[in-house]
Every structure is written in structure tokens, then in C-alpha cells.
Structure 1
């Protein structure tokens, strides 16, 4: 069974107590999940290992690659305890913070993080309990600070706190994270999500530990990271715009514009981007979302995100499958809107200057010119397919990956229907035969339809995308013949000028299919 999604934008869903059985995970996949997230802030390693085994068994059963993202907890900054379990605060009064482990009271709040106290300075803002309590540092002494209560009236044991305007001397990976990281890598996950990233050095530290065994997903949730946005996106392999913690530390009205900026920059750099947190929050307890939540998901799709994500909705909610199905329906509805394609095309980034960029641009334009049924990318590392996804084409991308790990990673990318094909390829004719067989077998094309195929020569070498060929599918899928037109000749010349690209084409019948994809509704 090769489940095919009739949409381009992907769905990431978090697994948890409400979605940990084989039956429920299969139901989530059938409802539309493309990538499953394991949140290491909750559950044990044994729990995650069991869930991972279920996902891989499902992958084998369905015959379709499934991505798995392991989300590291990161440093959780929490207060100590209080004598009575809570305290009452009055705005305008002053309270002392220190690292003494003794329970606190209304005049003293324990913070068991002396390095945090050291990093704060007069004027620093500290947000407690997800911003419900706000204080401002008025005085700093040796091992303590005194802060004025700006807002909030109640604080209880072990609540978290945030320091939005200070880069803290804390690694994004705790000792717990390092143990979880080693466990996740041994399982074989494709993606490691990093929490609490503040600086480019945090990503480099993680990559040193990961050693190419998985790709890095940057969780953008700290204002300090926003200051290095382009650099940290370049260092990462994908991005998660995590609006929960970011919304605590930034002013809420700043989030929508920042979301658009992050999606644009990620697309420009060819990195998959996920929009996450509270997307269908009300469906934790209700069978339908609010109108505002539907608009929120739709806006992320209109902005060109690769994927949208469910957190507690699918992990701990009462309606996990319904939440996925709702998200699937919203995405499909947006992508059928005639205005959607105009918006996506208007945001296409400037082309790059490499040979791979030239080939991908040529494939995009040639596919449009000949009304191709699909763009087919044959890839080892995934780079060829990521170049194609960056263009956000109106037609599906069939990503043929020779490595299973690559196939699983590409599932996150916009518009890509991934097929794992481990067979050795020696000639472009073999690629064309494989592409036409997959396209017809999985319902993307039929006799007379055309495909734009990109690959790299020599084969089985990453980063060598340098060939574009256009083929017309004959009655027998295993045979294909190159296609030709004035438009494709122009693309061949353009690609050759850009970097010696080969775009081999020959004459073929100019056949048109009845259900042409002019509205861009056929998706992989």
C-alpha cells in the first residue's frame, strides 16, 4: 500500500498517552500524519522505544517512508518550592531571589540556578509561570537579586521562568538531553529537535554529538536566536517555529510577522519549516476547533510552510485522530483556493547560482511549459529534492531516494511524495524507467503524460544534480522516450548556459490529458 496525500503541506503529530497504541498510531497515519514527533520532555526512554517500534512496523506494513522527530527537552528553568506551596504577590513590592535551596516565602523566592542569577543585571525582566508573573531586577548583589513585581499576584512551587532579554550561560543540551540524544540516535530517528537554542554555537555543539547520524531541527523559541536568524537557519537542517515559549518571551503582536519572516527565510535557504504550538488547541477537549484556530492553520499554509504540527492535541487530547483529519481538511481546502497558487508563486525566492539551482529552475519552468504530471527527483542525500521543494511547484514532486534514511527525512518537505528505491542505478534510462513506473503505479500519471526528471551524474554521489530530462510515458510504463518542444529546447539552452547542465530531449507526440493539473490539485 502506497498512501498518497492529495496535498502538498505536510502534517507532524506528537505521540503520547492518547496515541501510543498500534491501532491509534495507524489511525493517525491514515488520517494524514506524515511525520511523528516523540517529545522527550514526557515519558521514559522505554516508552519512546516502544512507540518507535510501532511506527517502523507501520512503515513496513504501508510501504511508505514515515519520518520520526525526537524532540529534546532542553534546560527547564524552574523555581524552587515555597513553605506553603504558593505565595501571594503584590505589584509594586520588592522580592528577593537567591539560590538557597530552603523553601521560600512572600519575601524570598528560591532559584536553584546560580548561573542565571549571575547573568541577570539591573533592568532585566524575569517572566514567571509562562508570563503570568512579571518582575524587573532593581538590584543585584553577590548571589542574589532584588526585583520589583510588575504584574501577577500568585506563584506556586516549581513554576518555570524565562529571561527574554539576556543570553543565558546555559547549553541547549542538558545531561538528560545527552542521554536521550544517544538513545534516539541508537533507535535510528531521522530528526533531532533542539530546544532552547540561543546561539549558532548551540547547533554546532549538537552536531558534534550527532555526527551525521541524524539531521538537526532547530526549535525557534528564544528571542536571542532570532537575532542570529539567517545564520542558525543555515546551520540547521530544518526549522520549527515554536510559538509557545517564543510567545512568552516576545510580545504577542510580534509573532505573526516573525512567523512570515521565518517561513520566507527558511524557504529561501531550502530548509523545511514547521509551524507549531496551539494550532488546534481547543481540540484537546472539543471535537471541533474554533474559527480562529482554523484560520491560524490556514494562514501557515498560505504562507508556504512545509508542515504544520499538532502537540497536545494528538499526544494527550480526547480527539487526536479528529484533530489530524481536521488539519488535513484545512490544508486541502486552502490548496484548492485559486488565490493560494498566486500567493505561493509571488513569494518564490531568487534563484541560486549553483549547477543544481540551474537544473532545478529549468525543471520547474520546463514542467510548467509542457504541463507535466510531476517533477521526479532521483536523490542520494536529499539535496536534489530539497531544491525542487524550495520552488513550491503546483505539481507533485516524486522524490526517489536510494537511501531509506533520506526517504524518511524528505517526508517533511513540501509537495514531496517519497519513494524508497534501494536498487542500484547505472544509467539515466534506468531512472526514467523507474520514474515512469512509479508515476503510473501510484496514480500520478498515465500514458501520454510527461515527467520532468532530475538527477546527478555520476550516480550515487551526493550533491551532483546536473541532469534534466523530459520524458513522455508510453503505454507500457517501463518504457519511456524523451520529449521535445520549443519551450524545452529553451530550457536546455538556459540550463547549459548556467553550468554545463545536460537536458536531453527528443521529439514525441504532443498529447494532452483530460484532467490536466492546471489548478494544482494533484499532490504527492
Structure 2
């Protein structure tokens, strides 16, 4: 299986046997959701993940998903209330409640979010179940009238969104900073950053981690429309991006979301960064043993779009069928990947650019297809070589070798990679790769294997973007090896 599966842990799945079953059916990344708990609550899950690594001999990744700024309304008098289409409500800061008059008052105790709100701007509540448009500014940046665009229930403390509006709030909250510190302390391998709006948000998380001597991989969650306007800067600073379709579907016209998903995945691959598609992949399996036909098609389309990972949320965290959901995605991937690889007709060629490492990676994939090789093996001290190979979307499996566990766990995010640890006592990277091939039982005598590596060369004092202790080595060596 080339596509990676991310499974969210929760009360229905934080169990050794269930987690083992999920790993055996393709899960390589476990998501720990800080929206509902702190780091201390995840200690048992991390222990199980490390135990599974040892028992199965497979690198596994523990990803902490930071909560980000929770934007919720306050108490609504008489909640729950039935809203009718065309009805007028008042939105404003809590001290203005009495000025609502006969209209329902919706309070928001975040003045910065109301700054710049103007007539005609959209406002959504309850994950888009209730939609409004601003019809009158009663008091600039403080009090507004809105008209309901549809019928629905208005309830206290629900989430509120302002599609397309820039929020002068950092993605990293004080709770997130605490969770980063404590998450590093319990041994998490990566962090997902919620509500990223620009590259500066990612820099903020990098700076926070560096206070504790770490630079763990960052998955930027694309939930804001204005994040798409700064996508190149976000990709430059991130290690992966998540197409978080729940909030993004509120920020952007729903009819455009499928194309936005495709564009994000394509941009991530061109930048040699991983992409994750998330939200409601198999939502019906929270309560049912099988998905709908539309969900099956949605998962397949994400894979055929070229996503590195697909993510399960409620399905595995609180669903009644967490293992079955993973098994189903695995089955869809088996068929969708075969069609995807057939359709692209060979590895992706690089754009015409001066980038020898990309062309070497592309050539390695072409050789593997031409010789019908058993697999590709790439040694990657920093992960750069493996990411280049993955971005070409090779049909053959890729064994990504590294002596560093943190690098191996990072490579779990990337299409087609099978990370394996090698002995650092062997000096040359090519020698490590050949030793791996000799000892691999799935590579038979007479099989060809394509080896790539990034070996140090004079005048290359670069620093790894993931781990400052390891150099970044461009892919500069390729070999056809017969066992």
C-alpha cells in the first residue's frame, strides 16, 4: 500500500489489540487530538505506540493535533432556538446585549474577530448549519445586524466562522504552547497546527519548539481561505499540509472544495511535502459497519488525486468500528492506487529546472520500471532523498533507510515509503543499502534493486530542515544492484 493512513485515537481505539490491528492494515500515524485532552492523557497511547514499534519492527508516528483558537459564541437566551430564513439577529460584544431589543442576541467575546466586519459579509454557525449575512453595522467593530439565510437551530456555545475574513489572531494559543512543551516531554513525533493563515503562523510554532531544543515535523492544517493565498510560504516552512475539509468547506464555496483539494495536493507534491486529506472520509462508519457509496468514492478520489495520506477522525476515535474503517480504506487504496499509477503512466517528470537531485530521483524510478525491479532502496540521513523519490510517485515500493528514528517517523507521512532503520556503524550510505538488500527476505536472488543515496561531498555544509544534528544531503548517487 502506497497511501499512508492516519488514525485518530480516542476512547474506542486506545487499546493495544485494536491499535495493532490498525497497524497491520496500514495505519502508520496515530493522531492525538489536543482539542479534547492534554498531554498527560496521551501518555498511555504513546506507550502503546512505542510497544507496537518494538513488537512489529515498524516505525510509527505519534502526531499531536493542536487545538488552535476556539471561536465560539456565548450563551443564547432561550437556547435552543429555531431560526427561520429571513429572520434578523444581532451579533456583538457581550456588553451590548441589551441593545439587541426584540432580536435574538449572539454574543462573541473576541473583539478582534469583529474588527473589519462589514455589510454583505457572510457568517456561519454550527459548522455551517446556520448561515447569515451582515445587513447593518450598528456600531463599528462591535455590534451588527444579520439576516438568516436558512432555517435551523441556534444553540449556545457553538462554533462561529467568518468565511474569507482575515482574523488578527495567531494560530498558536497559550494552550497550544503548553501542549507543545508537554507533548515534546511525552515523546510526540510531530505536531499539526490548526487554523494556519500564513507562513508566520508556522514560524511561531518552530520558534516555540526550539525553546526546548526540538524541531519536530509540522503539519499545517489548511482551514482558512486566506491560507490558500499564502500556500507557497506555508509549504516552504511546513513538512506536510492537511486539507481540513470541515472548516475549509465553510470558508470556501462547497462547490469549489474538490478542486481546491486537488490544487493543494499538487502544490505539496511539487514542494516535496506531504499532503493529508481529512474530514468525513467514512463518517457513516461511526455507527455502521460499512460506508456509503459516496464515501467509498470520496476516499478513492483523494487517493487518485495523489494524496500522501488519508485521515480518519471520529471513525476511529469514537466510532463503533475503528478497525473495520481502517480495513475499508486499505481495500479502497488497493484498487485506487493501481488505477492512479496506471493513469499517470510512469513517474512524474520534474519541471525543466536546474535540480539534479530531482532528475536522479526521477531516473531511479524510471529504471525501476524499465528493469521491473523488486523495489527501490534509498538511504536518507535527513529524509530529503526519500521525499524526492516519493514526489515522483513511483509504482515500486520504496524502502527508505535511515539510522535516525525521528527521520523514519517523519517519512511515514510520504507516499510509497517504507521506513527502515539501518546500522550507523556502517560508514558509507551505499554500503548500508546493500547490507539491507542482502538481509531482506522479500528480495530474492537475481532480483534487481535500484539504490539511491545522498552521500556527503566536499563543500556541502548544509543543515537538515528536520534535525539540526544531521546534514541535508542531496540525492547524488544511483546504482542498479542485483542480489
TM-score computed with the length of structure 1 as normaliser: 0.84
Larger mean CA deviation between 418-427 and 318-327 belongs to 418-427
Query: Are positions 1:449 and 2:453 aligned together?
Result: no
Check conservation: 2:347, 2:366, Cα contact below 8 A: no
Q: Which residue of 1 aligns with 2:8?
A: 14
CA distance in 2, matches of 1:429, 1:43: 44
1: CA distance, partners of 2:192 / 2:64: 6
Q: Which moved more, 1:223-232 or 1:303-312?
A: 223-232
Say how many residue pairs are matched. 463
Match of 1:89 in 2: 83
Q: Equivalent residues in 2 for 1:42-61 (5 A)? A: 42-61=36-55
**Is contact 1:351-1:357 (8 Å) kept?**
no
For the Cα contact (< 8 Å) 2:348–2:362, is it kept in 1? no
After superposing the two structures, state which structure 1 stretch, 90-99 or 183-192, moved more: 90-99
The match for 2:65 among 61, 65, 71 is 71
Q: Which residue of 2 aligns with 1:511?
A: none
Q: Would you say the 8 A contact 2:378–2:433 is kept in 1?
A: no
Gaps of 5+ in 2: 458-469
The CA deviation at 1:72 is 0.6
Q: 1 CA distance for matches of 2:429 and 2:131?
A: 63
Counterpart Cα distance in 1 of 2:253 and 2:81: 26
Pick closer, same or farther for the CA change 1:366–1:194 going to 2, 3 Å: same
Over 3 Å counting, the alpha-carbon distance change for 1:375 and 1:351 in structure 2 is: farther
Paired residues of 1:99 and 1:110 also in contact (CA < 8 A): yes
- 2:379 and 2:433 in contact (8 A); partners too: no
SS of the residue corresponding to residue 19 of structure 1 reads coil
Aligned equivalent of 1:109: 106
| Partner Cα separation in structure 1 for residue 311 and residue 423 of structure 2 | 30
SS in 2 for 1:151: coil
1:468 matched residue in structure 2: 478
Give 1:423 deviation, angstroms: 2.3
CA-to-aligned-CA distance 1:51-96 (integer Å, 9 cap, x gap)? 1111111111111100121111111110100232333334334322
Task: Trace 1:167-182 onto structure 2 (pairs within 5 A).
Answer: 167-182=166-181
2 CA distance for matches of 1:31 and 1:342? Answer: 25
SS of 2:120's partner is: coil
Distance 2:390 2:278 in 1: 20
- Contact conserved, 2:61 with 2:410, CA < 8 A, in 1? yes
Query: Does the 8 Å contact 2:341/2:395 carry over to 1?
Result: no
Question: How far did 1:106 drift?
Answer: 4.3
Q: Which of 222, 231, 248 is 1:229 aligned to?
A: 231
* 1:188 counterpart SS class: coil
Equivalent residues of 2:348, 2:393 under 8 A apart = no
Distance change >3 Å, CA 110–CA 391, structure 1 → 2: same
User: Retained in 1: the 8 A contact 2:422–2:436?
Assistant: no
Inter-partner Cα distance in structure 1 for 2:185 and 2:81: 44
Of the candidates 123, 127, 150, which is equivalent to residue 126 of structure 1? 123
**Residues 1:33 and 1:126: Cα distance change in structure 2 (over 3 Å):** same
Which residue does 1:188 correspond to in 2? 187
Aligned position for 2:221: 219
Aligned equivalent of 1:210 = 209
Q: Note if contact 2:401-2:420 (Cα within 8 Å) is conserved in structure 1.
A: yes
Secondary structure of 1:231's partner?
A: helix
**What residue in structure 2 maps to residue 201 of structure 1?**
200
Compute the displacement of 1:433 (Å). Answer: 2.9
Instruction: Please tell me whether residue 358 in structure 1 is matched to residue 355 in structure 2.
Output: no
Contact 1:89/1:106 (<8 A) preserved: no
Displacement after TM superposition at 1:44 (Å): 3.4
Larger Rg: 1
Q: 1:432 offset after TM fit, Å?
A: 4.1
Residue among 278, 287, 298 paired with 2:300:
298
In 1, Cα distance between the equivalents of 2:113 and 2:302?
A: 35
Are the structure 2 counterparts of residues 378 and 89 from structure 1 closer, same or farther at C-alpha, using a change threshold of 3 Å? same
1:257-336 paired onto structure 2 within 5 Å? 257-336=259-338
Q: In structure 2, how many angstroms separate the alpha carbons of the residues matched to 1:344 and 1:210?
A: 41
Distance in 1 (CA, whole Å) between partners of 2:433 and 2:156 is 63
Residue number in structure 2 paired with 1:138: 135
Q: How far apart, CA to CA, are the structure 2 residues paired with 1:236 and 1:252? A: 26
Offset at residue 353 of structure 1 (A): 2.5
Q: Please name the residue that 2:22 is paired with.
A: 28
Give the corresponding residue for 1:379. 380
Structure 1 residues 9, 344: CA separation in 2 closer, same or farther (over 3 Å shift)?
farther
8 Å CA contact 2:189, 2:217 repeated in 1: yes
Residue 253 of structure 2, aligned match among 247, 251, 269: 251
Does the 8 Å contact 1:89/1:149 carry over to 2? yes
Aligned residue for 1:18, secondary structure, equals coil
- For the pair 1:41 / 2:35, whether they are aligned, the reply is yes
Q: Distance in 1 between matches of 2:58 and 2:353?
A: 32
TM-score normalised per structure 2: 0.91
C-alpha separation in 1, matches of 2:196 and 2:276: 16
Could you say if the C-alpha distance between residues 199 and 462 of structure 1 is closer, same or farther in structure 2, counting changes exceeding 3 Å? Answer: closer
* Cα distance, 1:428 vs structure 2: 5.2
Q: In 2, Cα distance between the equivalents of 1:41 and 1:349? A: 40
Worse-matched range after superposition: 91-100 or 124-133 = 91-100
- Structure 1 equivalent of residue 389 of structure 2: 388
The alpha-carbon deviation at position 250 of structure 1 amounts to 1.5
